[in-house]
Structure 1
Amino acid sequence: MSAEQTQNRPIRPRITRVRVWSPALAALLVGTAVLYLWGLGASKWANAFYAAAVQAGSSDATAMLFGSSDAANAITVDKTPAALWVMDVSARLFGFNPWSMLVPQALMGVAAVGLIYAGVSRLLGPGAGLLAGTILALTPVAALMFRFNNPDALLVLMLVAAAYCTQRACEKDASRWWLVAAGAAVGVGFLAKMLQALLVLPALGGAYLLAGHRPLRRRLLDTALAGVAVVVSAGWYVALVELWPASARPYIGGSQHNSVVELALGYNGVGRLTGNEPGGLGNLNHDVGWGRLLGYGMGADIGWLLPAAVICIVAGFALTWRSPRTDPVRAALTLWGGWLAVTAAVFSFMNGIVHPYYTVALAPAIAAGIGIGATLLWRRRTDIHAATALAGTVVVTVVLAAQLLSRTVDWLPWLRATVAVGGVGAAALILVASRLGPVAARVVAGVAVASCLAAPAAYSVATAAIPHSGAIPSVGPAGGGGFAFGGLLSSPTPRLDLIRVLAADADRFSWVAAVVGSNNAAGYQLATGAPVMAVGGFNGTDPSPTLDEFVRAVDEGRIHYFIQGRVMTMGRAPQSGSTESVAIRDWVDAHFPAQTVDGTVIYDLTAPISQPAHSSGQR
């Protein structure tokens, strides 16, 4: 059979077992680990909001269970706490420090890359798996978030695990327990970042219903069982929180009625889509629409290979459309393509709070889609249509890379020209690759891949090279879009004199201080090592504590100081929510003496100017 006939015959992939210790896989995982772990401690507490919760959970069981912001259990973070549990366990084993908190995040990134490699390699061999894993590892937003302490690392790992299990469930003679395991993984993802985890369910269910080997009735039953697994693996915790006496647990941060169900469906659910988030700030980006993912807000995070993924996935469907219903490659394209389409649409049109780093959830779908689609196109390169699609993919990618690089014009200016020249040259040679010898063809493929990955790889290295802090970290080089210490929504860093004042007699109080806003509280808590009450939660708009509850705690001698801090709303007033924090601040100002320490105004709540008010009528 001729080479041309071989490349144009129907695609019948053979499911293969991935060699665990293959040199390619070892190199991929070691390289990913180096990128994600090198200099990791430079970010110190990274997102202080979550770091404070890890500090609390590492010392108090109740705080760990509920994800409390402080060890005295005033209020929780505004997410379910599965991601915190991972860091809490590490901190309990190795002590609470930046490395014990951040290393688990990096290792979850390495595991996600390994799973992508394993899934794609089972379909099309180690070359395709290596391409997919490398793309995930070198996506800038992945290099950012797998070195950070937000919940996204666990979310992405669980979703990749769910996709891998679903792919295995679609194989011949596979156990239905693979699909149940996929549902359980999505449920754990829910406990990391709530409803965002459910965005992949249409893709997972659709792929299995389309391509599973069992009869339709059995496939429907298996899908229902997987749905039950989602509910059980996520619902046990929701039920526990809702049934636990409210007086014996911290207030559920991010909700207006102390309810984790409200938090999941409101502030972290439908409100993110509509912008109607009680206590939220609304959409601050003003870029709703399909262009958002390539725009100035998100483009540098995820946009580099997004068009390439769309082309490769569509081309993959075109190449497999005559395949049997159970074709595993088309099932995988349905899975990863559905994941990409649904998540991209939601991120593009969300009217509520949305941050660029959310796009890390797109990275696995982009990586797998390109790994599968590009490999199929390369194997059919003697077909002018496949060769043209592959060449076009390279050209589109390098042109977009040059445009994204132009946004940081003073950073590596030579890279734009290098990427453009290498990519266009490789694209031209791809059109005649069928006439080249095997060695020359591999060189062309290598140049094409290198040209397409050079820009995001450089951006990923630049991202990993600088420390990141604050609630909204950003990718890229220092001064070119990446925020080092002092990033957006960062926490205060008190100086030594203020720390000494706040920490004095700390063991006599439940909270050494109270301050409006969780970011403010986190900075003082991490500095003193003692609980600080976050009045009003993250935005200062949660009704916890109420003025009456705060007054009662002061009368009981449970709070030492009140700190006058700024509420970090990025210049936007909250759209709705409680004003209890304003009432508390005004009450403190009216009844207690103010003093300034290291430029910060604090109030000693044990030394009132006048008799404290004891009723809501004196607000």
Structure 2
Amino acid sequence: MNKRFFSRFDVPLVIIVCLAAFLNLYNIWTEEYVNTYYTTAVAAMMENFHNFFFVSLDSAGSVTVDKPPVTFWIQTISALIFGLEGWSVILPQAISGMGSVILMYILVKPSFGTIAARLSALAMAITPVAVAVSRTNNIDSMLVFTLLLATWLLFKGIRKQHTWTIIGAFAVVGVAFNMKMLQAYMILPAFYLFYLLAFRQNWKKKIGVLSGATAVLLVISLSWAVIVDTIPEDQRPFVGSSDTNSVLELAFGYNGAARLTGNQGGPGDGGGNMRQGTIMEIRLLVILEQTKIIKRIHFKEK
């Protein structure tokens, strides 16, 4: 029985995952409100479905956070389950960091063997920046996990020649787009090249599958943005950090080209092109909401 157990489970991997759990989770319960800009959004999203769907930054639902919704939806669900605490909004990122360690092992093992897979998982577990970002409520840890999941699906689909698994890989990248917009697309050149070189089918089927996968990618990527942009402006919050009150403009502007050129402003200023009065109003709103959330965490009724 013991031999069967140890043959099915890689004990060193279990130890590495436990190490990752310790590094990612230890003492996070002392965090009170971490990144208050994002915690403010989670607090507002807990108020009602309108704020939840639009990722509203304030309780009144007048302006959105400057990122797409998926990570904040997960953080809000965690806060609804465990209560709004610093650790409850960090928890999804900490778990994602642990998941990335496992995925790194799974990705490396088929091609390079168990030893290389263990070393890769260990490197992922103890890399300082990976640990640091997994101990915050910033988006990056969950983004990395999602993109590694997409990579695993692509490898699996190519290896087994499963068309739908390949399409699923691109669909997951579309979900990642709804975490941090164009930054999720940075892996696509490698995806396309690997697919074209490794998928053992004739060119007609290759192009057909790739076209379908790309269509799914774009539909999932843009679904939330298109829904929000088609809703009348007086029935939804202002899109934070955009110039034109458009999620698509936010994706390709403040969270797209501006990330490459460095032409960015602070949260809510639309890269410096919005009216100064609007900028000040949004900044004041953020300060007021952050004050409210800090009070809720520090002085909530027991």
The answer to whether TM tops 0.5 is yes
Residue of structure 2 in register with 1:222 after alignment: 209
Residue of structure 2 in register with 1:120 after alignment: 108
- TM-score where L is the length of structure 2: 0.87
Structure-1 separation of matches of 2:16 and 2:85: 28
- When the two chains are superposed, the root-mean-square deviation of aligned CA atoms in Å is 2.0
Residue of structure 2 in register with 1:188 after alignment: 175
Match 1:516 to one of 269, 283, 289: 283
Residue of structure 1 in register with 2:261 after alignment: 274
Structure-2 separation of matches of 1:231 and 1:179: 15
**2:120 pairs with 1:108:** no
**2:149 pairs with 1:167:** no
Q: CA-to-partner distance for each residue in 1:405-456, whole Å, 9 max, x for gaps?
A: xxxxxxxxxxxxxxxxxxxxxxxxxxxxxxxxxxxxxxxxxxxxxxxxxxxx
Q: How does 1:185-264 map to 2 (within 5 A)?
A: 185-264=172-251
Q: Tell me the SS of whatever aligns to 1:170.
A: helix
Q: How does 1:553-564 map to 2 (within 5 A)?
A: none
Residue 44 of structure 1 aligns to which amino acid in structure 2?
Answer: E
Residue of structure 1 in register with 2:121 after alignment: 133
Residue 524 of structure 1 aligns to which amino acid in structure 2?
Answer: T
The alignment covers a number of residue pairs equal to 280
Deviation at 1:217, TM superposition (A): 2.1
Q: CA-to-partner distance for each residue in 1:308-354, whole Å, 9 max, x for gaps?
A: xxxxxxxxxxxxxxxxxxxxxxxxxxxxxxxxxxxxxxxxxxxxxxx
For the structure 1 residues 53 and 123, does the alpha-carbon distance in structure 2 shift closer, same or farther, using more than 3 Å as the test? same
Match 1:85 to one of 73, 85, 88: 73
Deviation at 1:280, TM superposition (A): 5.9
Name which one, 1 or 2, has greater alpha-carbon Rg.
1
* Identical residues among aligned pairs (%): 33
For the structure 1 residues 167 and 515, does the alpha-carbon distance in structure 2 shift closer, same or farther, using more than 3 Å as the test? closer
Residue of structure 1 in register with 2:294 after alignment: 527
Deviation at 1:529, TM superposition (A): 4.0
Residue of structure 2 in register with 1:95 after alignment: 83
Deviation at 1:20, TM superposition (A): 6.5
Q: CA-to-partner distance for each residue in 1:16-44, whole Å, 9 max, x for gaps?
A: xxx86321221121111111001012232
For the structure 1 residues 524 and 261, does the alpha-carbon distance in structure 2 shift closer, same or farther, using more than 3 Å as the test? same
Q: Tell me the SS of whatever aligns to 2:20.
A: helix
Residue 196 of structure 1 aligns to which amino acid in structure 2?
Answer: Q
- TM-score where L is the length of structure 1: 0.43
**2:126 pairs with 1:154:** no
Structure-2 separation of matches of 1:142 and 1:54: 23
Deviation at 1:240, TM superposition (A): 0.9
Deviation at 1:108, TM superposition (A): 0.7
Structure-1 separation of matches of 2:236 and 2:270: 23
Structure-1 separation of matches of 2:9 and 2:64: 42
Structure-1 separation of matches of 2:45 and 2:58: 8
Gap regions ≥5 residues in structure 1: 1-18, 283-513, 531-619
Gap regions ≥5 residues in structure 2: 1-6, 273-280, 298-302
Q: Tell me the SS of whatever aligns to 1:256.
A: coil
Structure-1 separation of matches of 2:213 and 2:261: 29
**2:41 pairs with 1:53:** yes
Deviation at 1:141, TM superposition (A): 1.0
Contact 1:49–1:518, Cα closer than 8 Å, also in 2: no
Deviation at 1:122, TM superposition (A): 1.7
